[in-house]
Amino acid sequence: MRIAVIGTGYVGLVAGACFAGAGQDVTCVDMEPGRVAALRRGEMPLYEPGLEALVRRNHEAGRLRFTTDLPAAVAASQVVFIAVGTPMGASGGADLQYVLTAAGQIGRALRHYTVVVDKSTVPVGTADRVHAVIAQHTEHAFDVVSNPEFLKEGAALDDFLRPDRVIVGTRSERARQLMRELYAPFVGDGRALLFMDPRSAELTKYAANAMLATRISFMNDVATLCERVDADVEQVRQGMGLDPRIGSGFLQPGIGYGGSCFPKDVRALMATAHDVGLELDLLKAVEATNARQKRSLLTKALRHYGDLSQRTFAVWGLSFKPRTDDMREAPSVEIIEGLLTRGARVQCHDPVARDAARRCFADRVSYASTCYDAAEGADGLFLATEWSDFRHPDLRRLWRLMRQPVIFDGRNALDPEEARAAGFTYFGIGRG
């Protein structure tokens, strides 16, 4: 099957590479010549474990191509995925300008029956809008399908190749059969391929992410309560997670969620509800808790030190989660900006996000090659991302390197008793 994927960001590049890996003929389209040239050389625009090898292998085999020629790619394809960005607009809803622009370009390029797939995260009713735009530019038959992605950054290839569910929103039997054939290699051993109407598919994506964000914020509220009543949130979390009605997923307390999905999708769902006269008060509280939680370590530091000016702090972890270089709405950004605003110096380290950090902070912070280099001479250490590299540090070495042995553990990645036994003042999240 010939497939075109418009957009070579996170979703488009992963989808294109995985479809090519399953034997499909895939052309990825991007309007930036520099990005296309880099991809042809095997250079990735983002970090995702395993993605570079998969792209290189399928590009060399001729199953995966990169181009700026959208009309040619669309005209030659049976299925066209729209995987462009949907940034947050001024009102909090998704900005669909790139999706609708792509729809118009697709309409002008169609030469035969084609299934057009919304892979971008889009609000309810977008499939109808995309259909209307394409119809303005073509007389050829086509169907528009909603196929939301459920990829976790850092585990995207596994999520795509072994999905827990694939959701396809369509009312067309012809499109249904084509999508069933396309996804057969990934759902052939019983994993769910779930068909529904397009609007339900669009809403499912937002509702799923909002639910996960809600669990995170709820546990962060519980963690704050634990600190007030001298309880241990880790013990509470374990006790809750053993209840099969609750489960243990997304109950880890910390310094809040970030990234490209949860913040944007929660706000988009709230905006969609507002547009139809409904206020989602629960999600307003989820956002408020998350905003407070991102400030929690800085609040602890201010209580401990009083004045942060002229002090030096180490920050371990910059990406919003491990196994990615994505710093969009990462809690580390708020921590570092808060420290800099109060006159502190920052020495930071992240295994893969240094380039992203330079785009964010330029030369306002220093970038260390190792976590121990970042800690040298520091008055305190902020652990902002739970990379495996940071879970079992040499505490004796760390104690010798730091000017003041104080740890602010934003992910409860360290054992408080071990840290205190090694001579550290330890602050975690909800640890009593």
Catalytic residue numbers read 261
CB neighbour class for 135 (10 Å; exposed up to 12, middle 13-18, buried from 19): middle
What are the C-alpha distances in Å from 148 to residues 102, 119, 122? 17, 5, 8
- What residues contact 295, with CB distance under 8 A and at least 6 apart? 334, 338
Residue 427's beta-bridge partner residues? 408
- What residues contact 359, with CB distance under 8 A and at least 6 apart? none
CB neighbour class for 331 (10 Å; exposed up to 12, middle 13-18, buried from 19): buried
Residue 82's φ and ψ, nearest 5 degrees, are -100, 115
- Sign (positive/negative) of CA torsion 270, 87, 94, 203? negative
| Residue 431: closest CA among 421, 413, 422, 423 | 413
The one-letter code for the residue type at 174 is: R
SS3 381: strand
Residue 252's φ and ψ, nearest 5 degrees, are -80, 120
- String of b and e for 382-405 (b: at least 16 CB within 10 Å)? bbbbbbebbeebebeebeebbebb
Strands 25-29, 114-118: pairing kind:
unpaired
Q: Rounded CA gap, 57 and 317, in Å?
A: 31
Question: What is the token pair recorded at 135?
Answer: 């119809």
**DSSP states of 347-377:** EEE-SS-HHHHHHHHTTSSEE-SSHHHHHTT
